[in-house]
Amino acid sequence: MRRIRWGLLAALICGIPAVGQSPAPAPSATLPVARAYTADVSTRSAKLLERAEIGHTIELRVPGFRLPPNKSAADLVLFINGLPMAGLHPSNANIPKPAAPMPAQGAAKVVDGKPGEVAKSRVLPTDTSTFQFVLVREGATLKAWERFYRHPRFNEYNIQYSLGLPDQELTQRTKGTTLELVRQRRITFIWLVTALVFIGLIWLAIRTDIIKDQSTHEKRPYSLARTQIAWWTLVVLAAFLHLYVYTNEMPTLTDATLVLLGISAGTFAGARLVDQSQAEAQRHQSTVGSRGFFYDLMSDGSDRYNSGRNGISVHRFQLLIWTLVLTILFLRYTLRNLDMPKFDDNLLLLMGISNGTYLLLKIPENAQPATEVPAAPLHAQQPTANMNAAGAGATTISQRPAEDDNGPTADLPANVDLDPNAASNPNNGVG
């Protein structure tokens, strides 16, 4: 009951029908009744179906079944909860002909293929048709299975099987059985591996310089380019492992996936070249050091020369935001469609523009801005002492106008005697 409530809640949020509930009306009660069995192809034995998995072979037995006119067994498809599974046709069908003589009572035994040997576990009425289906997810059946894989956390479903043509059911539905898409231990294993890889990346980021910038500072700051390539590597790896476990086949990397990895790798390579070209410069990564993970990713170091700025740059912020947005779209597409994402070319172009802008503006980040150096003020020259011809103790100066920060000063009077004993000196000419 709890699982049903969560399924209905997810269906309301995502706008997807809850496949655990039958979305189609029940077929007419006048149709033949179908019963589901699990078929063991190796021994050609069968027992009532209680649980099935992807890859298993199930067998439907329908007493009194008749094909519609101009139809063959190859036209039949398997129905699950009233929904036609397009492309899932019988791998083996046995429909008795109506004209064949049938005993009034009793049962005919089914031969397992060997002359004179009778299968012990299969004794069927003569008018019972049998159909075997292999629950595979490949080729034409991929589209039909999508509705069951849109919410992989709901791994088990209560399933009713029936038989029919692509546009109508021809039998009543079987009793409810369990369909397990993926074994729970495989799901637990893949999420555990993903969590360990993520925790390992965080540990390496803290204890090593794997995503830190090239710097001589003791506390090296985090690099936006290195963080981005490590992030996309983790996202693609998690999606790849997830798809492999759920589909039991090797996922195909789409063009969008390769473009995203290529953009992040190209950005990392370009940023590394810029850093090496400025190895002799006074780089802000070496003078300031780390000031926090997100601050390092969004700061261009402009606050080194202007204390009124915080260093957060809009082009770095844009790159970080678009990386997070595409990550959400990437994972959502993978979980809903069980396939690597296929993005619009313009969306990938936008990501490329953001990374290219970051690279172009990274070049002048470590170029110290030119500042105007104010000219030194002109101070009054030291007076030049001259001996007065009238007396040896008299000192006179020839003074030029001096300038200070407020403009020229008043001219000093000529022949100013700087001797403090001038008033008592008879040779100074002052009486």
329 pLDDT higher than 90: yes
Nearest by Cα to 50 from 59, 38, 61 = 38
CA distance 398 to 386: 9
Q: Report pLDDT for 8.
A: 40
CA 403 to mean position of chain CA atoms: 68
Token match 């794997």: residue? 210
Q: Report pLDDT for 127.
A: 80
Give per-residue pLDDT as tens, 172-204.
888 888 888 877 788 888 889 989 999 999 999
Give per-residue pLDDT as tens, 280-326.
766 766 677 788 888 888 887 766 555 545 578 888 999 999 999 99
Query: 328 and 195 share a domain?
Result: yes
Assign 21 to helix, strand or coil.
Answer: coil
Maximum C-alpha span of the chain: 165
Tokens of 343: 């993005």
328 pLDDT higher than 70: yes
Query: 233 and 360 share a domain?
Result: yes
Q: Binning pLDDT at 50, 70 and 90, where does residue 278 land?
A: confident
223 pLDDT higher than 60: yes
- Is 344 part of a structural domain of the chain? yes
CA 387 to mean position of chain CA atoms: 90
Q: Report pLDDT for 221.
A: 85
Given 155, 181, 207, the domain boundary residue is: 181
Query: 126 and 7 share a domain?
Result: yes
Q: What is the pTM of this model?
A: 0.59
Query: 173 and 190 share a domain?
Result: no
Query: 201 and 95 share a domain?
Result: no
Query: Are the C-beta atoms of residues 119 and 110 closer than 8 Å to each other?
Result: yes
Nearest by Cα to 323 from 347, 296, 300, 344 = 347
- Is 247 part of a structural domain of the chain? yes
- Is 195 part of a structural domain of the chain? yes
Higher pLDDT, 223 or 101: 223
CA distance 265 to 255: 15
CA distance 105 to 102: 8
Tally Cβ neighbours within 10 Å of residue 290: 17
- Is 386 part of a structural domain of the chain? no
Q: Report pLDDT for 257.
A: 94
- Is 259 part of a structural domain of the chain? yes
- State the residue range of the domain holding 54: 2-181
56 pLDDT higher than 70: yes
397 pLDDT higher than 60: no
* Number of domains within the chain: 2
Query: 147 and 291 share a domain?
Result: no
Q: Report pLDDT for 9.
A: 41
- For the chain, what's the residue count? 431
- Is 308 part of a structural domain of the chain? yes
Q: Report pLDDT for 26.
A: 63
14 pLDDT higher than 50: no
Query: 131 and 206 share a domain?
Result: no
362 pLDDT higher than 60: yes
- Is 89 part of a structural domain of the chain? yes
Query: 170 and 229 share a domain?
Result: no
Give per-residue pLDDT as tens, 69-114.
888 999 999 999 888 998 899 998 988 876 545 444 444 444 444 4
Given 181, 212, 243, the domain boundary residue is: 181
| C-alpha dihedral sign at 397, 401, 402, 406 | positive
CA distance 134 to 92: 9
Higher pLDDT, 369 or 261: 261
Tokens of 115: 């002359």
263 pLDDT higher than 80: yes
- Is 405 part of a structural domain of the chain? no
Query: 294 and 277 share a domain?
Result: yes
CA distance 172 to 73: 17
Q: Report pLDDT for 103.
A: 47
Q: Report pLDDT for 45.
A: 57
Query: 174 and 271 share a domain?
Result: no
Higher pLDDT, 384 or 164: 164
Highest mean pLDDT among 26-30, 170-174, 259-263: 259-263
Q: Report pLDDT for 13.
A: 36
Given 181, 216, 247, the domain boundary residue is: 181
Query: 141 and 260 share a domain?
Result: no
Query: 76 and 158 share a domain?
Result: yes
Nearest by Cα to 312 from 321, 324, 320, 300 = 300
Q: Report pLDDT for 275.
A: 81
